[in-house]
Structure formats: C-alpha cells, structure tokens
Amino acid sequence: MWRRWGCEGTDPGHVRVRHQREEVRGVPSVIQRGRDSGRLRERLMRLKACKTRCVVAVGFVGVAVLPAWAQFSANNVTLRDAVTLATFGATSGSSCWGYVSPSGREYALMGLNNKMAVVEITDPDNALIVGSVSHADSIWCEVKTYGTYAYVSNETGGGIDVINLANVDSGVVTLVQRMTTAGIQTAHTVTVDEVSGFLYTNGANINDGRLVAWSLSNPANPSLAGQMSTAQGGVYVHDSQVVTYTSGPYAGMQVAFCANGTSGLDIVDVTNKSAMTLLSHRTYPNLGYCHQCWLTEDRQYLLINDELDGINRTTVFDVSNLANPVLVHEFSTGLGAVDHNQYVRDGFDYEADYTTGLQIFDVADPLNPVRTGFFDTYPENDGATYNGAWNVYPFFPSSIAIVSDIDRGLFVLDVSNAVQYLTFTYPDGRPETISPAGGTRLRVQVVGRNTTPQPGTGMLHYDAGSGFAAIPMEPVGGDAYDAVFPAVPCGTQVRYYVSVESDSGQTFIDPLAAPTTTYTVLSAFGTINVLGDDLETDTGWIAGAAGDNATTGVWVRVDPNGTPAQPEDDHTPAPGVRCWVTGQGSVGGSVGENDVDGGRTTLRSPRLDLSGLSHPRISYWRWYNNSAGASPNEDTFVVDISSDDGASWVNVEIVGPSGPQTAGGWFRHEFRVADFVPPTSQVRLRFVASDLGSGSIVEAAMDDLLVSDPDCEACPADLNGDGVVGLEDLSTLLAHYGAGGAQPEDGDLDRDGDVDLADLAAMLAAYGSTCS
C-alpha cells in the first residue's frame, strides 16, 4: 500500500539552506526472501514521499531546525553537511564507501539508483560532487575500492563497473570498463581483500550467487580466479568480509566470513581460489537473514547483523578458532529499527541501522559494549521498516564518517565526540525509591575513554512533574560524584539523568538519549505490595469478550507447552507453573498448532479495589511473539485499563507490531494507575492479542500481576507515634501476630492484610531507631 505524507517544511531563516526539494519513497515493513534476496527486495516500495526544504547542522544532543517530523536527533555526532537525492539527480540511495587520494583528499563514493557519485568531503562543511558514473536503474548499488580503482555492482545488469579515481583531485572520474567476464551481469555486493589483492562478488548472477574470486593483479581488468562450488559447501552469499591473516596460527591464510542469508554464517578458507574450503558453518537463535558481518581488529570476534529477525540485535561470535566459532554475546540499541551494515575501527562499531540511522558502540570489549553516539537520519520513526541509513563508512583518516541514506542521500558526520567519551557507572546501583524528605544519594563513577572528565562539572537533572531542573552533584574524589535528590512529594515518579563535562568542554550524559529517555525513581519511603496474583489458582479472570472472533489461540490458564513462539514455563518461580497463554497446543506440536488466528482474543482481570490507596501502581509480566510465519510483525498486543468495571477503557501500552519485545521472552511492565484512570474500586485490566492481517504466528502470555502503593509513612514501625521504635511497638505487633485482617497500626507493616514473619523482621530491623 502506498502512503503519502504532506510534510513540506519552511526555511527557518537562520540556517544555511542547501537544497530546496527532496523526494523520498517508501517500502513495506515485511518482505520475503529466497536465495536471490536482492532481486526480490526490488519489488518493495520505498518510504513515504515527502518534501523537505533544508538540511542543517546538528550539535551535541542537538535537534535540526526542521518541521517537527523531520528533526534529526543526535548525541556525540555532528552533522557537517549533506547532499540530497535531488542534488544527485537520483530517487534513492543505497550503499557507500570512501576513497583517499594520494594527496590525502577525502572522497565519499555514494551509491544511488542510477549512478555512483564521487563527492569530495576534504572540507566536510562543503561537500562537492566532482563526478559520477551512471549505471542501469537499480535499488542496489554497492562499491568497494582497491588502490586507485573503484568496483561498483548493481542488481539490474551491465556488469561490474571498473572506475579509475587516479585523477579525481582534478575532477576526473573515468569508467575503465563494464566487466562482464564469465557472464557476470549483476552482484548483490562486492568485497575486496586489499592485502591479497582479490575482489569477491557475492550474490552474483553467475555461480548461483556463491562466492566468486577475481584477481586484481591488473586492477583495471580483474580476471576470474576461482569460485566456490556446492561440492565445496558453497551456498548463496549475501555479503562477506575477506581478510589475510599476517600473524598467529592462521598466518598466510586468506579467509572469507560469509553472511549467507537464511543459512547463517560460513567461514571459508579462500587461499586456494580453485579449492576453497568450508572451515565452519553456524546459525544462531532466531535466525532471520544473516545480512552482513565484520571482524574486530584483533580478529577474535565477529559481529553479525540480521535483517529479518524482527529485532535490533548484533550477534557476537568468538572466531579465534575458525573451525569452531562460538556464539558469546548479543547487544542492541533497544530501539525498534532493523540493523543493516556495520564496520569496526579503532575499537568502535559503526552501525547503519535503517530508521535509527548511525549507531556507534565501543566494542573494545565486545562482551560489554557501550553505546557512545548516534545520529538519526530518519526522524519519522524508529520502526522496523527498510528506510533510512543503508551504509556507513568510518575509515577516513579524519574524524569524519559518511552515511548513505535510502530516502535522503548522503550525510557527512563528525564522530570525534563518540570516540572520545565519558562512561557512567553506578557502583551501589540505582535506587528503586528516594526519600520524600530528600537526601537520597546516588553514587556516580565517571571514566573517560580518549578524554578526561573535568572535575566539578557533574550535574543531576531531574523532573518531578514540572520540567527538568539541574543541581550540581557532590564530588567525592576519583572522578566520582554523589547525586543527592531533593525533597519531592511522596508518590511522585521522578525522571532523571546525569551529565559531566570532559576536559575539552564536551558535555556527556547518561542515559545517552536523555532527556527523551531517562531513568525513573519513585519518591516514597518504600513500597507496599497490596495485591499479588501468581495465577496459580482461579481468582476470577475472564477469558473472552464481546467482539472476540479468533478461531484458535484463545486465552487459557495452563502450565504451557512451549513452542518456538510460546513459553515453556510460566514466569512465577517454582513451584509456580501456571499462567495465561493464547492457546495450548499439544506437547511437541507445531508452532502454529494453537496460536492466535482469525481475529482477536481478550483476557480481563478480576475487579481491583484501589479506592483506598494513595498512588497505586500495577505491574505484570507479559510475553509476546509475532515475529514468525508468512507475515511477521504485523499485529499488536494491547493492554488497557478501566476504572468503571469495563464500561470504558484507556490504553496502557501497545506492544508491536515490530521492535523490542516482539520475539518472545518475559518482560515486566509497570505503570501508575492515576496516569491513566482514577484509582476507583472498579478497576480492571484487559489484554488483547490479535491476528488481523495476513497469516502469521501470534502468541501472548501474562503472569504475576502485582498492585503496590508507595509507603508515605516516614517511620511505619513506630506504631504508637512516640517517635521511637521500641518495646511498646514490638508488643503491639506480637499481640496481633498471625491475625488476619490486620491494619498497619496492628503491626501489618507490609500492608498485606496479616501480621507475619515479614512484619516482625521489619520491626526488628527498625527497633531502637528514632523517627524524625
């Protein structure tokens, strides 16, 4: 379905307008891929056709002066310049690469639907198109370099373009030939091993898309050197990195790390081009489409992006033993965008993640990566669609990286602040509550990488409901601070983040996307668990509601039989076994045996009396998976709340249709009731799972409902109110020990309706203390 947004901006007046009009197109969020994935994706439509009138520089944590929908959010990355598709004379962007001339001048090689353009960025504030070579119209245009030559492929035809850049400083870009040796017409991607001097084509029209090697002994005229056969274990290769080992146990070997789409990862010895050898093959959990991979610089780890797994995820393999790669870690931005391409330089991973643009991680320790910067080239949303950043090139000698964007063209970015940064840790953890009287301390430890924290610059930024205020943190020595929270009314949910300056005057914040994303803490002396339901017994939940029409997968309370989409175990710790799930299939049954099909199914909670609580909060654990089947990531899981026994409903959250928490796993969600409805005596929740579009696998589950209330009594163990927790208070508690229907003044300190061991422990912990 084509969609169009009316979104023409205006010239803000105080910024330099580069280009007056830009056309972009759209793609749907779901595609199907076969062996030749590239050609299939050409059927997709591109993102929303929009018009924008300016591209402006963005500073630290800056926002572009554009229409509200088109603000470029960023942190530690600065926009220096941009070249739009209209200026290129193109309708879509694809990949990019870089070239540095012998004189040291820097050039962006920008892949476009109808050409490969060469843009000088030596002065990053004044990007200049110096030449281009046209090719057959194709969504895909991939480019790599060797010496003074560039090699460009596309998915429509015409062969591999061999382009001479030797005279690019004089504005001369020369097409040497369109190589069609051995019948090659198209290639999905190209790879160059600069040490050994070989070009590799991936997903080409020859050799059924398997790996093909070309000698660059004469770089103007590549010659066929060998190709991998099915007998050698070869399969369709989507992309690859090929390196020559110069030291260690593999010295002298040329090795290809192949991202092979639905078949996963292959590691291939390509030293002998006529006898390429498969060293190992690996898959990983939730494999969708192994899209691209890149080694860390010590060649101990391989980072993999998956384009169709439905989540943002970088998978890390230990490849120190090429014959036995081991999955050791996964990491994510936590955002909904699909990850696409990535490269590692100087211990930093640069990722082009479609709708969230450029994402940068410190992977000096790949098992503990730190997100250090980002620049969002697609401000419309962070959805799992094929829009935004296609590729990134971070290997220029300068601090500049370039990003090729499908919908907007070329971005020239300064990433220096992302590789010189401060990290924040919390040695004592972050508090769950802060005292309403103020004074709660949060220890913050700051460490610099390639820079140094400036003493005395720490700030706590907090929002108690009236906007952010900032107060200095207290230095405690050794680049550590104490953030001291001020007095805040009990029951208030406080948002906060911290900041410290480096010795260069750059401000760094945590969390990285603050103030959009912050930490939160509740102002209270503690929390009181008012009601807990582990669903082990029937407490009055109702499966079904007017309008439900699902033919299978209706809600049922069971000990679940696990499938690749549904949990095997409930969330409650043993001996708990039951939860609500959408349909119970047979043991060992297929993934789609009893998932949600044909419509919606509703689960409603019992009536919850919250009328006597001050600031009640509700939490629950949920499971949702819509990432499998013929049409994944099209449906949603909806949670609503009612304060009038179900007569009307207000939405609490919508999970999906794509992004985090849509591929299974138990996740906790908590909210303050008063943010949505009044806390009455007739509160209900409802959970709605649906399969409304094309056929797909949809499973949902719910467990462990909890109602809590902030404890706003400064000294709840002082039962007689004399200001001291003493013998009289203990005697009162013991007199009511074991009694049901107890009140707080009887010693029910945790407000669970009886006086028990938990209350006695709390009393003894406070015994002898003075209340103020």
**What distance in Å separates the CA atoms of residue 707 and residue 97, rounded to the nearest whole number?**
54
- For residue 243, give every residue at least 6 positions away whose Cβ sits within 8 Å of its Cβ, in sequence order, or none: 193, 195, 254, 255, 257, 295, 299
Q: Please compute the mean of the pLDDT values over residues 598-617 and round it to a whole number.
A: 95
**Of the candidate ranges 314-318, 368-372, 642-646, 748-752, the one whose mean pLDDT is the lowest:** 748-752
**pLDDT for 2 beyond 50:** no
Give the residue-averaged pLDDT of 398-417.
97
- Confidence class for position 382, pLDDT limits 50, 70, 90: confident
Mean pLDDT of the chain: 88
CA 177 – CA 163 distance, rounded (Å) = 7
In sequence order, which residues have a C-beta less than 8 Å from that of residue 10 and are 6 or more positions away?
53, 67
Cis ω for the linkage preceding 511 (within 30 of 0): yes
pTM of the model: 0.71
Q: What's the rounded mean pLDDT across residues 587-596? A: 92
Given a contact cutoff of 8 angstroms between Cβ atoms, the answer to whether 545 and 602 are in contact is yes
In degrees, rounded to 5, the angle at the alpha carbon of residue 677 between the alpha carbons of residues 671 and 681 is: 100
Q: How far apart are CA 458 and CA 440, in angstroms?
A: 17
Side by side, the strands of the sheet bearing 400-405 are 78-83, 409-414, 400-405, 389-393
Q: Which tokens is 598 given?
A: 């044909």
Higher per-residue confidence, 627 vs 477: 477
Report the alpha-carbon distance of residue 265 to residue 280 in Å, rounded. Answer: 8
Q: Is 711 helix (H, G, I), strand (E, B) or coil?
A: coil
pLDDT of residue 34: 29
Q: Are 100 and 397 in contact (CB under 8 A)?
A: yes
Burial class (CB in 10 A: 0-12, 13-18, 19+), 377: buried
Quote the Cα angle for 392-397-398, to 5°. 80
Phi, psi of 760 (to 5 degrees): -65, -40
pLDDT bucket at 723, cuts 50 / 70 / 90: confident
pLDDT at position 60: 24
Radius of gyration of the chain (CA): 30
Is residue 22 within 8 Å of residue 51, measured between CB atoms? yes
Q: Is the pLDDT of residue 222 over 70?
A: yes
Distance CA 223, CA 243 (A): 19
For residue 380, pLDDT over 90 is answered with: no
pLDDT of residue 41: 33
pLDDT, mean of residues 409-417 = 97
- pLDDT for 340: 96
Q: Residue type for 411, please? A: F
Residue 28 has pLDDT above 90, yes or no: no
Q: Quote the pLDDT of residue 696.
A: 85
pLDDT attached to residue 772: 64
pLDDT higher than 50, residue 665:
yes
Residues 6+ apart with CB under 8 A from 759: 733, 747, 748, 749, 750
Query: So what's the pLDDT on residue 357?
Result: 97
Higher pLDDT, 10 or 653: 653
Query: What pLDDT is stored for residue 547 in this prediction?
Result: 95
314 — pLDDT class (breaks 50, 70, 90): very high
> CB neighbours of 43 closer than 8 A, spacing ≥ 6?
none
Count the neighbouring beta carbons within 10 Å of the beta carbon of residue 672: 16
For the chain, give the percent of residues with pLDDT over 70: 91
Tell me which H or E stretch contains 761. helix 757-766
pLDDT of res. 594:
94
Quickly list DSSP for 356-386. T-EEEEE-SSTTS-EEEEEE-S-TT---SSS
Longest pairwise C-alpha distance within the chain: 96
Note the pLDDT of residue 143.
98
- Contact predicate 108/393, CB 8 Å: yes
**Which DSSP symbol is given to 547?**
T
Q: 68 exposed, middle or buried (CB, 10 Å; 0-12, 13-18, 19+)?
A: exposed
* Whether 758 contacts 713, CB under 8 Å: no
SS3 341: strand
pLDDT attached to residue 36:
33
Of 31-45, 624-638, 735-749, the poorest mean pLDDT is in 31-45
pLDDT at residue 656 is higher than 50? yes
- Say if residue 702's pLDDT is above 90: yes
pLDDT at 663 over 90: no
How many whole angstroms from its chain centre is CA 194? 32
Helix, strand, coil percentages (3-state) for the chain, rounded to 5, are 5, 40, 55
Q: What is the mean pLDDT of residues 177-193?
A: 98
The span from the CA of 516 to the CA of 642, in Å, is 28
pLDDT at 286: 84
What lies within 8 Å, CB to CB, of 743 at 6+ separation is: none
The percentage of residues in the chain with a pLDDT greater than 90, rounded to a whole number, is 75
Which pLDDT score, from 0 to 100, does residue 445 have?
Answer: 97
Distance CA 244, CA 266 (A): 16
What is the pLDDT, as a whole number, of residue 483?
A: 97
Is the pLDDT at 749 greater than 70, yes or no? yes
Point out the least confidently predicted range of 37-46, 120-129, 397-406: 37-46
Q: CA nearest 413: which of 422, 405, 423?
A: 405
Answer yes or no: are the C-beta atoms of 278 and 232 closer than 8 Å. yes
pLDDT at site 758: 85
- Taking each continuous run of H as one helix and of E as one strand, the counts in the chain are 5, 50
**For residue range 328-349, what is the model confidence (pLDDT) as tens digits?**
999 999 887 889 999 999 999 9
pLDDT band at 364 (very low <50, low <70, confident <90, very high): very high
pLDDT of residue 632: 80
Residue 11 has pLDDT above 60, yes or no: no
pLDDT interval class at 593 (50, 70, 90)? very high
3-state secondary structure at position 244: strand
| 723 within 8 A of 770, measured Cβ to Cβ | yes
